[in-house]
């Protein structure tokens, strides 16, 4: 373990842009004070000081509940008898099946749309802000859901998957970045991992509705679930219209006065700590100026330049390893269990239990984090556990045909065990890691690139999984566990050598640690003082001028009436 200290040149002159009348060193003093307060803040102090930030973050994360509901319909209709009869083909045994090729095509349609949406999000969110971007996506989604509801063939379903995938891709990252920017360090891990709870809640609702529709024999058995997608957008749009914008985004745009107003809307009026909004805004300004120095620009290309190349690589792999650790065939849980010998009704019941565990697992992850276990440790040990479970799943494929029903029950139980390990670790912690590791200046684009890579891996998986599981194709069934177990072992090796520990660090500290090339295994113990880093005086001057112009505009507005 290293005790080295990262330091640099003495501080240059700076300007406190929260009050243009103050001298440059005030930014350093205020930023240092705010950083110390955040790092010493306890969980309960953070909740009492930022209750409105918690509430707004939960509201915006509800977009993921909607998406989880929508996405679960895509992959779990494959085991739905009425849906297969409408869109599938008659098989020699008298059942209906959508071919493996079309299963892959439908799943990949959503992935392709999501990748396009993710790429657009890197520009839209930075240009228009989080709120307006999400509201625009909701309006688009309302129209596209019509295609699902009226689809007469798999071609129409494919078009619906691609078009709905555009806003789905944006929701996947924008909720995480918003949560990480409206809360202090003490709450960051909890509010970002809460996004994973929202996935589980949406999936649980979707599976529950599918389970309740199995008894119906008409077309409404699948049209009702599609139509229920309309219940989400309008209430969410109302809440989004009232929500405050991210103060970090406002600082990046030079709107420092607006950032302070937004920060005050996120905090409690009855403060039990010595919170100072000017100090917190000064910390944001200092971090922005420091990143201006460390980062050449703010385009997608800049994510692959200099030190940001390493940050982008890690974020991409953290996202991708969710898909590489068995999550891909877990998404086909009902279909997988049905092919393992379980009835459709029991398969959906097991899936209900699996998605319930997805939600409970998030609370378990919070408990582990509250005991001081770091994100890196949770992610690494979680991958080890998943690798073991996947290999056991593979060995269950050796169960004789005469005991197939017992093997199916054992498989279902193991999949629930896999879900427990996954949600306690990799599934939840990834959301915290990807929001903390990028620079603030490139966060939106870096997280989007990571999720794009996740989507690309997902496309490959969506092509492979139906062939692995479909009885008319490779029909690997449980042996699929051996394949993903081997891939998961490679993920363990990568995580050990490349994934750093961001727990308890300010964004500025993480930036300096990456800039100095500190080894991933030494991140947690290396001491760093970001206030000994020189920042770009020009950036502070520009932020000051922008803020001063905002103040003057507000002051002069009544005179024009």
| 3-state secondary structure string across 432-485 | HHHHHCCCCCCHHHHHHHHHHHHHHHHHHHHHHHHHHHCCCCCCCHHHHHHHHH
Exposure string of 198-208, with b = 16+ CB inside 10 Å and e = fewer, is bbbbbbbbbbb
What mean pLDDT is predicted for residues 82-88?
A: 84
**Range of lowest pLDDT (22-36, 80-94, 104-118, 411-425):** 22-36
Q: Residue 64's pLDDT band (boundaries 50, 70, 90)?
A: very high
Phi, psi of 232 (to 5 degrees): -85, -50
Q: What beta strand segments (E) does 60-104 contain?
A: 89-90, 96-97
Per-residue pLDDT at 289:
83
Higher pLDDT, 109 or 94: 109
Q: 219 CB contacts (<8 Å, ≥6 apart)? A: 82, 86
Distance CA 245, CA 182 (A): 9
Higher pLDDT, 275 or 49: 49
Q: Residue 141's pLDDT band (boundaries 50, 70, 90)?
A: very high
What mean pLDDT is predicted for residues 240-258?
A: 93
Distance CA 191, CA 201 (A): 15
| CATH level 2 (architecture), domain 23-260+289-545 | Up-down Bundle (1.20)
Exposure string of 529-551, with b = 16+ CB inside 10 Å and e = fewer, is ebbebebbeebbebbbebbeeee
- Whether the pLDDT of residue 340 is over 90: the answer is no
Per-residue pLDDT at 461:
82
Q: Residue 2's pLDDT band (boundaries 50, 70, 90)?
A: very low
Per-residue pLDDT at 552:
47
Nearest to 158 by CA among 74, 60, 57: 74
* Domain spans, the chain: 23-260+289-545
Distance CA 115, CA 459 (A): 10
Q: Are 173 and 75 spatial neighbours (Cβ–Cβ below 8 Å)?
A: no
Q: Residue 532's pLDDT band (boundaries 50, 70, 90)?
A: low
**Range of lowest pLDDT (141-150, 268-277, 375-384, 437-446):** 268-277
Phi, psi of 287 (to 5 degrees): -65, -40
Per-residue pLDDT at 557:
42
Q: 301 CB contacts (<8 Å, ≥6 apart)? A: none
What mean pLDDT is predicted for residues 59-72?
A: 88
Average pLDDT, the chain: 82
Per-residue pLDDT at 175:
93
- pLDDT tens-digit readout, 278-287: 899 999 988 8
What mean pLDDT is predicted for residues 179-190?
A: 92
Higher pLDDT, 531 or 432: 432
Q: Identify any residues that bridge with 97 across adjacent strands, giving them in sequence order.
A: 89
- pLDDT tens-digit readout, 300-325: 999 999 889 999 999 999 999 999 99
Q: Are 419 and 458 spatial neighbours (Cβ–Cβ below 8 Å)?
A: no
Per-residue pLDDT at 404:
65
Distance CA 87, CA 108 (A): 17
Q: 490 CB contacts (<8 Å, ≥6 apart)? A: 324
Per-residue pLDDT at 84:
84
Q: Residue 339's pLDDT band (boundaries 50, 70, 90)?
A: low
Q: Identify any residues that bridge with 117 across adjacent strands, giving them in sequence order.
A: none
- pLDDT tens-digit readout, 462-492: 778 767 766 666 767 778 888 899 999 999 9
Q: Residues of the chain with pLDDT > 90: what percent? A: 39
Per-residue pLDDT at 426:
94
């Amino acid at each position: 373990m290293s005790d080295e200290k990262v330091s640099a040149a003495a501080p240059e002159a700076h300007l406190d842009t929260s009050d243009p009348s103050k001298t440059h060193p005030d930014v350093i003093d205020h930023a240092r004070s705010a950083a110390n307060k955040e790092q010493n803040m306890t969980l309960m102090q953070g909740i009492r000081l930022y209750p409105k930030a918690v509430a707004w973050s939960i509201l915006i994360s509800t977009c993921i509940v909607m998406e989880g509901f929508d996405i679960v319909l895509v992959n779990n209709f494959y085991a739905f008898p009425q849906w297969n009869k409408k869109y599938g083909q008659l098989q020699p045994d008298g059942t209906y099946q959508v071919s493996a090729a079309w299963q892959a095509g439908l799943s990949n349609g959503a992935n392709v749309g999501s990748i396009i949406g993710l790429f657009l999000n890197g520009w839209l969110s930075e240009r228009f802000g989080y709120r307006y971007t999400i509201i625009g996506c909701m309006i688009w989604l309302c129209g596209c859901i019509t295609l699902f509801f009226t689809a007469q063939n798999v071609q129409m379903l494919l078009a619906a998957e691609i078009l709905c995938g555009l806003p789905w891709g944006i929701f996947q990252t924008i909720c995480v970045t918003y949560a990480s920017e409206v809360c202090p360090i003490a709450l960051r891990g909890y509010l970002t991992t809460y996004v994973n709870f929202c996935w589980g809640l949406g999936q649980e609702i979707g599976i529950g509705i599918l389970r309740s529709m199995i008894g119906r024999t008409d077309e409404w058995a699948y049209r009702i679930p599609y139509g229920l997608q309309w219940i989400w957008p309008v209430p969410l749009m109302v809440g989004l219209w009232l929500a405050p914008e991210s103060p970090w985004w406002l600082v990046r745009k030079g709107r420092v006065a607006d950032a302070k107003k937004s920060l005050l809307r996120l905090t409690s009026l009855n403060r039990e700590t010595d919170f100072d909004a000017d100090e917190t805004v000064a910390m944001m300004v200092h971090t922005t100026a420091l990143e201006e120095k460390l980062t050449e620009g703010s385009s997608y290309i800049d994510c692959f330049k200099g030190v940001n190349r390493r940050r982008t690589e890690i974020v991409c792999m953290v996202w991708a390893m969710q898909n590489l650790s068995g999550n891909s065939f877990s998404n086909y849980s009902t279909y997988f269990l049905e092919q393992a010998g379980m009835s459709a009704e029991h398969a959906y019941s097991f899936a209900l239990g699996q998605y319930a565990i997805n939600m409970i697992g998030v609370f378990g992850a919070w408990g582990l984090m509250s005991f001081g276990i770091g994100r890196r440790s949770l992610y690494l040990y979680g991958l080890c556990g998943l690798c073991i479970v996947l290999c056991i799943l593979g060995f269950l494929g050796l169960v004789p045909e005469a005991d197939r029903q017992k093997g199916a029950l054992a498989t279902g139980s193991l999949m629930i065990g896999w879900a427990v390990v996954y949600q306690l670790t990799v599934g939840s912690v990834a959301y915290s890691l990807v929001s903390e590791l990028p620079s603030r200046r490139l966060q939106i684009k870096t997280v989007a690139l990571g999720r794009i890579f996740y989507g690309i891996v997902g496309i490959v998986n969506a092509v492979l999984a139906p062939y692995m599981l479909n009885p008319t194709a490779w029909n690997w069934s449980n042996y699929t566990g051996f394949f993903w177990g081997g891939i998961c072992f490679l993920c363990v090796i990568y995580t050990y050598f490349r994934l750093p520990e961001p727990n308890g660090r300010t964004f500025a500290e993480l930036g300096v640690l990456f800039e100095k090339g500190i080894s991933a295994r030494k991140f947690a113990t290396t001491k760093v003082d970001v206030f000994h880093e020189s920042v770009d005086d020009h950036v502070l001057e520009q932020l000051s001028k922008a803020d001063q112009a905002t103040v003057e505009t507000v002051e002069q507005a009544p005179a024009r009436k």
